[in-house]
Amino acid sequence: MDPGGMLTVGVLTPHAAPGAEVEMPDMARGRIRVGVSRISGAAGSASPDGLRALARAAVLGEVPVAAVDVLAYASTTSGYALGHEEEFALVERLHERWGVPVCAASRSAVSALRSRHIKRVSLVHPPWFGPSLNALGAGYFRSQGFEVVDAQLADLPEDPRRVEPAMVVEWVARHLSHRAEAVFLGGNGFRAARAIQPLERRTGRLVLEANQVLLWSVLESAGALPAVGGFGMLFDDQATEEEASWAR
């Protein structure tokens, strides 16, 4: 972190669609700078096998900027395809190579849910995930002890550029199970950060989103105060805890 408190984050991703490199600076304005490296070297990156191959290639690649404070592996689907243990191994290998904290999207979602003592979660994925990755997502969270109330492919545009926050709010609010304690909007290219707060207000549930939880993990791993407003209870609750600690 530079003397002005600016955090430099290197985003590694196998995906072409903009995601974390757009939403993380939007959420933490003036707090982080982001460089992005798109991993190449394997075909069929949308398939589980392709995602696993690209994750292996990531360890051999380069970081997106000369000096980073934290690396962020921005691919929910890679976590799903690898499984929690292999995703942890990927994080460890990247950490060993670059000597900085490393965060991964799906692991970050698990940590965020546990930090709020959530047991029952609904998963909402964009339509381009398809049934296979949607099912892998449900399996990923079940393997970590959560009850997955449901895992749904949202009826939204197939083109990520055409997905608007209001569309996400309306669809999720209409389809969210009453049994869910929280909802996770999976997919780093599924840019739904600006849907988080209105969805929480409308449903009364904790709403997590892939780039939001990744940012949360990045800030925590760097020991940086969150200071993020307007993007959900995950940050609001943390800010309250920090204020209380300063008051003691």
Question: Which residues are 10's β-sheet partners?
Answer: 35, 71
Q: What is the pLDDT of residue 245?
A: 36
Q: What is the pLDDT of residue 47?
A: 82
Q: What is the pLDDT of residue 41?
A: 56
Domain 7-105+211-226 and domain 109-210 have a common topology: yes
Closest CA relative to residue 10, chosen from 94, 81, 121: 94
Question: Own/partner pairs for 223-232, CB < 8 Å, 24+ apart?
Answer: 224/1, 224/5, 224/7, 224/31, 227/28, 227/31, 228/27, 228/28, 228/31, 230/197, 231/27, 231/193, 231/194, 231/196, 231/197, 232/196, 232/197, 232/200, 232/206, 232/207, 232/208
CATH topology of domain 109-210: Rossmann fold (3.40.50)
Q: What is the pLDDT of residue 240?
A: 45
Q: What is the pLDDT of residue 60?
A: 65
Q: What is the pLDDT of residue 42?
A: 44
Q: What is the pLDDT of residue 44?
A: 46
Q: What is the pLDDT of residue 110?
A: 98
CATH topology of domain 7-105+211-226: Rossmann fold (3.40.50)
Rounded to two decimals, the pTM is 0.90
Amino acid letter, 212: Q
Domain ranges of the chain: 7-105+211-226, 109-210
Q: What is the pLDDT of residue 66?
A: 66
Structure tokens at 156: 């939204």
Q: What is the pLDDT of residue 243?
A: 38
Q: What is the pLDDT of residue 238?
A: 57
User: Exposed, middle or buried by CB within 10 Å (0-12, 13-18, 19+), for 132?
Assistant: middle
Q: What is the pLDDT of residue 1?
A: 54
Output Rg (C-alpha) for the chain, integer angstroms: 17
pLDDT tens series, the chain, 248 aa = 555 578 999 999 988 889 999 999 999 988 899 999 888 754 445 788 888 888 877 776 766 666 889 999 999 999 999 999 999 999 999 999 889 999 999 999 999 999 999 999 999 999 999 999 999 999 999 999 999 999 999 999 999 999 999 999 999 999 999 999 999 999 999 999 999 999 999 999 999 999 999 999 999 998 876 578 899 999 986 544 443 333 33
